[in-house]
Amino acid sequence: MEIQKPRGTRDFLPQEMARRRYVENRMRGVAERWGYGEIKTPTFEHIELFTLKSGEAILSEIYNFRDKGDREIALRPELTAPVVRMYVEELQRTAKPLKFYYFDNCFRYERPQKGRFREFFQFGVEIIGSAKAEAEAEVIALAVEMLEMAGIRGDLHVGHLGIVRALLKDLQPEHRSKIMRLVDKKDDKGLEEFLDEINAQDEMKGKLFRLIGLHGDNAVHEARELIGDIEAMSQFEALLSLLDVYGLEYTVDLGIARGLDYYTGMVFEIYCEGLGAQNQVCGGGSYGLSALFGGEDTPSTGYAIGFDRVMEICEAKPEASKRIVVISFEDTRKEAIAIANKLREHVSTYIDVMGRKFKDQISYANTIGASHVVIVGKNELDAGKVALKDMRTGEQELLTVEEAVGRLKGIKRY
C-alpha cells in the first residue's frame, strides 16, 4: 500500500515553490518597507491559548494531542493568539507601538475544499499598543498594498462593531453575542426570530436592521442619524477619512460583525473573485486579547491574509532563472566538475551525474531548458578553453573559463 500525504495537505514542487516564494517575498518587502519586523512563534502551543480566545467550540476543528509530559498541545490554528501570547509573555514593557509580521503554516481540522486546506499558510501583521484610527487605517492600507504587490485587487469592506454594540448596550451580554453572530452570518430570519424571542423593543429592532443594511457612501451619515453622537461613531468617521488619505476604495458595511467579544471596534474583510465559496482573502480588525492571556489591557489591530487563496488567483510569475549545463566526455569529467564549480560562483550550473554520453547530456540540457551549455572536451582543454554554446541560437564560441563567466553574468534572465 502506497503511503499518501494526509488529507488536506499538499506537496509543493519546485515550480510552484518558485511562485510561492516570489509572492511571499513581495509581501515581506511591503511589510519591511512599512517598518514591521518579522517574528516567529512555535508551531504548537498549549491548547488553552486557543480555547481562551475562541471558546471550547473550536476544539472540534483543532489538531491537538497530549504530549509525553501529559500536556495538552494544539497545532496553531491561527497566529494572532500566539503573537499576543508572545507579547504578554515578554514584551509588555517595550516601546509602543509594536509592529510585527509573520508568514507561517497553520492547521485546522476541517473538510478540505477549494482554498481550504488542513495545513495552510497565513501572512499577517499585528500592531500592538494603539487604539487610534491612525493604527487602524495603517493596517488596512498595508493589507491592500500587500495584496496589490501580489497582483490582487479585492473588494475592501470596512465596519465597526462599536456602532451596533452601542445599540445593543442594554441587553444581556449573552444576547448581545448571539445577535452579533447572527448579524455576521447575515441570517436575517434567525435574527428576527431571536429578537422576538427576547422581546426586543421595536425601536431597537428597526434601527438594528437599518444599521446592518447600510452600505455605500451615505452609510456613515445615516448611521450617525440612527445612533447619535457616540465615541465609536466618531472613531469610525476618523478612520474613514484616513482611508481617504491613503487613497483607498472601500465599502462601509456595518453588517460585518463578530460573535466573539475580544473584537473592540474596527473590522474589515477583503473579498476576491475566482475562489468559490472561500472568497475572503483577508480579514482583520481591532481587538483586545492580552488581558485574556493574563497581561494588561493592550489595544491592538491586525489582519491575516489567506496565502493559499492569494496563490490560487494571483497570476504572478517569477522570471525563470537561467541555467547552465556543463557537458563533458569520459576523459574530461574531472576537469568539467572543477569548471562547473567555478561557474557556480556566478550562475546556476548543472553537471551530469548519470554517466551519460555527450549527446544525451545535450539532450538533457535541452529538456530542462538550459539557456547555455559549456562544453568541456579534450580539444577545448588543449587550447586552455571551453566551448560556450547558446542553446537558443545554436551559436558556439571558444572562450577561457573566465571569459565564459563574464559572458554568462552579463546575460539577462529569460
Partner RNA sequence: GCCUGGGUGGGGUAGCUGGUUAUCCUAUGGGACUGUGGAUCCUACGACUCGGGUUCGAAUCCCGACCCGGGCCCCA
**Residue 199, C-beta contacts closer than 8 angstroms, at least 6 positions apart:** none
222-231 LR contacts (CB < 8 Å, sep 24+): 223/163, 223/254, 226/167, 227/163, 227/166, 227/167, 230/162, 230/163, 230/166, 231/162
Question: Cβ atoms within 10 A of the Cβ of 340, count?
Answer: 20
Shortest reach from residue 65's CB to RNA, in Å: 15
The interface region with RNA, picked from 87-95, 150-158, 208-216, 365-373 by CB under 7 A, is 365-373
Shortest reach from residue 88's CB to RNA, in Å: 16
Beta strand pairing call for 348-351 and 155-160: unpaired
| Residue 148, helix vs strand vs coil | helix
Query: Which three three-digit cell numbers place residue 327?
Result: 557537458
Across 164-279, the runs of DSSP E, i.e. the strands, are 251-252, 263-271
Three-state SS for 35-58 is CCEECCCCCEEEHHHHHHHHCHHH
Q: Which of 46, 132, 181, 385 lies at the binding interface for RNA (CB under 7 A)? A: 181
Q: Which of residues 114-153 bind RNA (CB under 7 A)?
A: 114
Could you give the CA distance from residue 239 to residue 224 in angstroms, rounded to a whole number? 15
| Residue 213, helix vs strand vs coil | coil
How far is the CA of 204 from the CAs of 158, 312, 401, in angstroms? Answer: 23, 43, 82
Q: Which of 23, 36, 54, 156 lies at the binding interface for RNA (CB under 7 A)? A: 54
The interface region with RNA, picked from 155-163, 169-177, 337-345, 375-383 by CB under 7 A, is 375-383
Could you give the CA distance from residue 99 to residue 101 in angstroms, rounded to a whole number? 7
Q: Does 363 bind RNA (CB under 7 A)?
A: yes
Q: Does 160 bind RNA (CB under 7 A)?
A: no
Shortest reach from residue 409's CB to RNA, in Å: 21
Q: Does 214 bind RNA (CB under 7 A)?
A: no
Q: Does 212 bind RNA (CB under 7 A)?
A: no
Q: Which is nearer to RNA, 209 or 271 (CB)?
A: 271
Q: Which of residues 75-114 bind RNA (CB under 7 A)?
A: 77-78, 80-81, 108, 110-114
What residues form DSSP beta bridges with 122?
A: 104, 306
Q: Does 62 bind RNA (CB under 7 A)?
A: yes
Q: Does 396 bind RNA (CB under 7 A)?
A: yes
Tell me if 27 sits within 8 A of 38, measured CB to CB: no
Tell me if 252 sits within 8 A of 164, measured CB to CB: no
Q: What type of residue is 40?
A: K
Q: Does 165 bind RNA (CB under 7 A)?
A: no
Q: Which of 23, 31, 49, 53 lies at the binding interface for RNA (CB under 7 A)? A: 53
**Residue 98, C-beta contacts closer than 8 angstroms, at least 6 positions apart:** 87, 91, 126, 127, 128, 129
Report the interhelical angle of 188-197 vs 202-212 (nearest 10°): 160
Q: Which is nearer to RNA, 101 or 287 (CB)?
A: 287
Q: Which is nearer to RNA, 110 or 145 (CB)?
A: 110
Q: Does 379 bind RNA (CB under 7 A)?
A: yes
Q: Which of 40, 317, 346, 378 lies at the binding interface for RNA (CB under 7 A)? A: 378
Q: Does 185 bind RNA (CB under 7 A)?
A: yes
Q: Does 334 bind RNA (CB under 7 A)?
A: no
Query: Which three three-digit cell numbers place residue 325?
Result: 549545463
Q: Which is nearer to RNA, 97 or 283 (CB)?
A: 283
Shortest reach from residue 164's CB to RNA, in Å: 15
Tell me if 66 sits within 8 A of 19, measured CB to CB: no
Size of the site for RNA (CB under 7 A): 59
Query: Which three three-digit cell numbers place residue 383?
Result: 587550447
Q: Which of 48, 148, 225, 360 lies at the binding interface for RNA (CB under 7 A)? A: 360
| Residue 412, helix vs strand vs coil | coil
Q: Does 288 bind RNA (CB under 7 A)?
A: no
Shortest reach from residue 256's CB to RNA, in Å: 10
Q: Which of residues 2-21 bind RNA (CB under 7 A)?
A: 4, 6-8
Q: Which of 24, 47, 49, 50 lies at the binding interface for RNA (CB under 7 A)? A: 50
Q: Does 184 bind RNA (CB under 7 A)?
A: yes
Q: Which of 177, 204, 377, 385 lies at the binding interface for RNA (CB under 7 A)? A: 377
Distance of CA 63 to the CA centre of its chain: 21
Tell me if 169 sits within 8 A of 161, measured CB to CB: no
Q: Which of 91, 298, 389, 399 lies at the binding interface for RNA (CB under 7 A)? A: 389
Binding footprint of RNA on the chain (CB under 7 A): 1, 4, 6-8, 50, 53-54, 57-58, 61-62, 77-78, 80-81, 108, 110-114, 181, 184-185, 258-260, 276-278, 280, 283, 329, 354-360, 362-367, 375, 377-380, 387, 389, 391-394, 396
